[in-house]
Amino acid sequence: MNQHFHKKAVKIDIGDGAAIPVRKDAGLFTAWWMTFFGAIAVIVYLCVTQPEPYWRVLKFLPDGVYVTFQVTVLSILLSLVLGLITGLGRLSRNRIINLIASTYVEIIRGIPLLVQLFYIYYALGRLEFFKDLPPMAAAVAAMGICYGAYMGEVFRAGIDSIDKGQSEASRSLGFNRAQTMMYVILPQAWRTILPPVGNEFIALLKDSSLVSVLAVADLMRRGREFASESFLYFEAYTMVALVYLVITLFLSKGVSKMEQRLNYYERD
Amino acid sequence: MNGIRPIIDIKNVYKFFGQLQALNDVSLSINPGEKVVIIGPSGSGKSTLLRSINRLETIDSGSIVVDGKDINGSGSDINLIRQELGMVFQSFNLFPHKTVMGNLTMAPMKLKKVPELEAKKRALALLDKVGIKDKAEVYPSMLSGGQQQRVAIARALAMNPKIMLFDEPTSALDPEMIGEVLDVMVTLAREGMTMVVVTHEMGFAREVASRVVFMDGGELIESRPAAEFFANPQHPRTRAFLDSML
């Protein structure tokens, strides 16, 4: 026996995002490097050699990038709140709370995001109460509710992965359940949770392209508008794809950096 | 013992884990300043009994009164009672995301609203006492098992408890580190701390215990002053156990 016997090695793998570069994984790093700068190089090359129409497409897109960021950030915030509540609910010893949280997860996971988007905007939009729901709000609500269910599972697994001795030590000092969660469990769980949550962030950013069907003028929508006006489908969607790729890779690098910072108390 | 109110009073305690009877009609009262060492084979219920005292395990019937407060009573706040009961675990359970200093100051600052400077001063004094003052700013993962356990003792002491509970504090340690942890516990005992210790360290029991309790199969078999206990064990199961330990 040694001092590490109580430590569980936990790795949560949920893959729908771009690969998040890991410091130790040189191969992945190279792949990230090549893709990121390759994409930028292609964009620059196209805009320089064929400014008409590529430069014109690129100039048309920034408004959409801004809206995509808006939708993504707001949806992430909503999904984090819902995810934490759901994760705690799934771990609750209260049967009713547990059942509500589990049912939410089951329902949301069983319905495609595109259907949820249509449902919230068009179906609920028929109700008097939601009559004036702006498309942006519907988009954020649908994305947040959907990803909240996925995040809930990640939070649950992350909180569950913390050794029972941690909460026993905290409780024996006199901390109550909520304080234990706040000061002892969550700060440690966050480290286990971050990689899969980062994955969800990236997947969410990509899925945000679906909100274009609700007349939200995001990056995808702007590309479609350009294409349908100019009939330059190839050029427009090439640019849209490249811009998404750059943004996604940028985000994945950001998550990787955050991960490294959260590992400060581990011995290598 | 006339006139002394026991600081821990355990009466007719029963505890089941499903079908398994972990504690069977256990009664034990401990006076302030006593050092009680609980021994027994694994599965005897000794750790369960210790963990029942601060309600990490809830008992099924009977009563446990700590410093005049029934720990399962509807009127008592278990979180306040636990502040009086320092606990040291087999697996140390230091908070890995906090430095040694953070481990020691967190509870006093958050629970007792001790100002940071004062909490740090007291933490340094405690670290000095357990012999690792120079490790205040490192994270627990950088420490050896013996050092971690000494920090864990200091963390429990930082709350100024009236009683210290030790749950097999040396069982997870490499042999060469057991001594440094036991030394700290001996010092603590000499200072008059009330201690309840579950351990396999017979040498420690002989040296420090004012009373030794032997448990087997969820029952408290024998509870007597240490010298008497080792010189002349009464019960055949106690004798068999002591023989097996030698």
Give pLDDT tens digits for B54-81: 999 999 999 999 999 999 988 889 999 9
Given a contact cutoff of 8 angstroms between Cβ atoms, the answer to whether B196 and B36 are in contact is yes
- Compute CA distances A251 → A20, A188, A196, B7, whole Å: 9, 23, 13, 58
Contact list in A for residue B83 (CB cut-off 8 A) is 173-174
Cα–Cα distance, B143 to B132 (Å, whole number):
10
Identify residues of B whose CB sits under 8 angstroms from chain A CBs: 54, 56, 79-80, 82-83, 85-87, 89, 91-97, 106-107, 110-111, 139-145, 148, 152, 155-156, 159, 171-172, 174
pLDDT above 90 as % of chain B: 90
Smallest CA–CA separation between A147 and chain B, in Å? 28
Greatest mean pLDDT among A192-196, B125-129, B235-239: B125-129
Using a CB-CB distance cutoff of 8 angstroms, which residues of chain B are in contact with residue A175? 79, 107, 110-111
Residue A134 in tokens: 């702006």
A179 has a chain B CB within 8 A of its CB: yes
Q: Mean pLDDT score of chain B, rounded to an integer? A: 94
Q: Which residue of A has its CA nearest to B157?
A: A173
Is the pLDDT at A133 greater than 90, yes or no?
no
Contacts of A165 in chain B (CB under 8 A): 89, 91, 93
- Chain B touched by A93 (CB under 8 Å): no
CA distance A170 to chain B (A): 8
Residue B9 bridge partners (DSSP): B29, B65
pTM of the model: 0.83
Residue B1: the pLDDT is 47
Of B82, B139, B142, the CB nearest to A172: B82
What CA–CA distance (Å, rounded) separates B242 from B230? Answer: 8
Q: Does A166 reach chain B within 8 Å, measured CB to CB?
A: yes
Averaged pLDDT, B195-214: 94
Residue-level pLDDT at B141: 93
Which pLDDT score, from 0 to 100, does residue A157 have? 92
Contacts of B200 in chain A (CB under 8 A): none
CA distance A174 to chain B (A): 4
Q: Which of B58, B87, B93 to mutate to test the interface with A (most CBs of A within 10 A)?
A: B93
Residue A27 has pLDDT above 60, yes or no: no
Q: CB distance B93–A176 less than 8 Å? A: no
Residue B12 phi/psi, 5-degree rounding, is: 50, 55
Task: At A229, give phi and psi (nearest 5°).
Answer: -80, -40
Whether B221 has a pLDDT exceeding 60, the answer reads: yes
Does the structure show a pLDDT above 70 at A268? no
CB-hemisphere CA count at 13 Å for A217? 9
Whole-number pLDDT of residue A1: 36
Q: Indicate the pLDDT class of residue B194, thresholds 50, 70 and 90.
A: very high
* Residue (of A181, A93, A186) closest to B58 by Cα position: A93
Q: Residue A30's pLDDT is what? A: 67
B29 phi, psi to nearest 5 deg? -120, 140
Helix ranges, chain A (H): 26-49, 51-60, 62-91, 95-109, 113-118, 135-160, 164-173, 177-180, 186-207, 219-230, 233-262
pLDDT beyond 60 at A13 = no
Sign of the dihedral through C-alpha B61, B65, B70, B72: negative
Task: Express each pLDDT in B117-146 by its tens digit.
Answer: 999 999 999 999 999 999 999 999 999 999
Residues 6+ apart with CB under 8 A from A136: A70, A71, A216
Q: CA–CA separation, B92 vs B80, rounded Å?
A: 22
Is residue A195 very low, low, confident or very high in pLDDT (cuts 50, 70, 90)?
confident
Q: Which of A9-13, B1-5, B180-184, B228-232 shows the lowest mean pLDDT across its residues?
A: A9-13
pLDDT at res. A5: 45
Predicted local distance difference test score (pLDDT) of residue A29: 56
Between A198 and B152, the more confident residue is: B152
Which chain A residues touch B148 with a CB distance below 8 Å?
3
Q: Letter for the amino acid at B245?
A: M
pLDDT score of A121 more than 60: yes
Average pLDDT, chain A: 87
Q: If you average pLDDT over residues A14-23, what whole number do you get?
A: 61
SS3 at position B223:
strand
**In a mutagenesis test of the B interface, which of A1, A2, A3, A170 is the best target, namely the one with the most B β-carbons within 10 Å?**
A3
- pLDDT at residue A4, as a whole number: 44
Give the mean model confidence (pLDDT) for residues A43-62: 91
Per-residue pLDDT band at A2 (split at 50, 70, 90): very low
Question: Is the pLDDT assigned to residue A56 strictly greater than 60?
Answer: yes
